[in-house]
A = this chain, B = another copy of it.
């Protein structure tokens, strides 16, 4: 059914070497011959066998995305990544690369799965998400010399790898600025407890902005919770019971915010009326929640496309003649003002 390079060669009465060179656009083939090969390829519906190419070239032409469900969230996964995947896969496809997704069980840190992907060389590069402050996956990949890029950073101890992150520090500061401008001075911050790196960045921005406004940072207004609805539900009352009650809360995760709002509702406190609620990293849940939550939104699909380019640049076989490059970028989040603050 599928025609091979041999079929083309036989059909045209030339050697497979010439066919291959013609197909790959090499210089040492007559323009006329090349055209005949291309015509025949179209006519015979030829498309190259990936296994053959991979075997010969030592490249798989695919990228592995290590997708990790929200730890603790059994019911539903992470809608965040879908538009990101769309951008990523689309751009990769343009360069003839496949996207293979590898998932871990929720909460699993997938070191093992990662090791398997690397050792069996099933992909030419991998994508890591949910980067932590100290991330052993990154150390492993660096040591193995395996190409990769992360969405999110880890604490960079001078380690060089490609990463694309959101500016959580800036978003945290912007959120504070906005709330202060609206008259708030007691502003709480709730972030995920695992040492996910973005939680630290967020808190840095939050603290700096408060200081800039001459507001003292009150540890009683800062809390860490498990990164799911229960976590937000559990930890929100803690900051609300501070001596001097906060008039605003910034949640560093959408689902935690929803849990927090549930707790607030049970305390008879209405977001948008009795308290201002801001979420960092917008998702559809923020939009449809009632009241609709003011949130900071990332440009997910463009980020996916950009990450694809970073990956391509990191793979020797696909990077330009100057060899693999390391690219680090931090993208802004855009405020989407809604009804909760």
Report A's interface with B, CB cutoff 8 A: 2, 45, 47-52, 54-55, 60, 62, 67, 69, 75-79, 81-83, 85-86, 89-90, 93, 98-103, 105, 113, 116, 119-122, 258, 283-285, 288-290
B90 to A48, Cβ gap below 8 A? no
Oligomer copy total: 2
Q: Once the chains are docked, how many angstroms separate the CA of A113 from the CA of B98?
A: 12
A101 to B101, Cβ gap below 8 A? yes
Q: Once the chains are docked, how many angstroms separate the CA of A113 from the CA of B49?
A: 17
> In angstroms, how far is the closest chain B Cβ from the Cβ of A221?
25
> In angstroms, how far is the closest chain B Cβ from the Cβ of A232?
12
A119 to B290, Cβ gap below 8 A? no
Task: List B contacts of A52 (CB < 8 A).
Answer: 55
Task: List B contacts of A119 (CB < 8 A).
Answer: 2, 45, 47
Q: Once the chains are docked, how many angstroms separate the CA of A254 from the CA of B198?
A: 31
Task: List B contacts of A120 (CB < 8 A).
Answer: 47-50
Complex: chain B residue closest to A119, CB-CB: B47
CB < 8 Å: which of B2, B105, B113, B289 contacts A289?
A: B289
A86 with B98, Cβ < 8 A, contacts A79-B76, A288-B289 known: no
A77 with B86, Cβ < 8 A, contacts A98-B100, A284-B285, A288-B288 known: yes
Complex: chain B residue closest to A259, CB-CB: B288
Complex: chain B residue closest to A88, CB-CB: B103
A55 to B51, Cβ gap below 8 A? yes
Q: Once the chains are docked, how many angstroms separate the CA of A289 from the CA of B283?
A: 13
Complex: chain B residue closest to A290, CB-CB: B290
Task: List B contacts of A99 (CB < 8 A).
Answer: 100-102
List 15 additional A-B contacts (Cβ < 8 Å) besides A69-B86, A284-B285, A288-B288. Answer: A50-B60, A50-B120, A50-B122, A51-B60, A55-B55, A69-B83, A77-B82, A77-B83, A79-B284, A85-B103, A89-B101, A90-B103, A93-B102, A99-B101, A285-B288
A75 to B284, Cβ gap below 8 A? yes
Q: Once the chains are docked, how many angstroms separate the CA of A113 from the CA of B90?
A: 11
Task: List B contacts of A122 (CB < 8 A).
Answer: 50, 98
B69 to A76, Cβ gap below 8 A? no
B89 to A69, Cβ gap below 8 A? no
B284 to A76, Cβ gap below 8 A? yes
- 10 closest residue pairs by CB, A with B: A77-B82, A290-B290, A79-B79, A51-B54, A51-B55, A100-B100, A47-B120, A76-B284, A89-B103, A98-B100
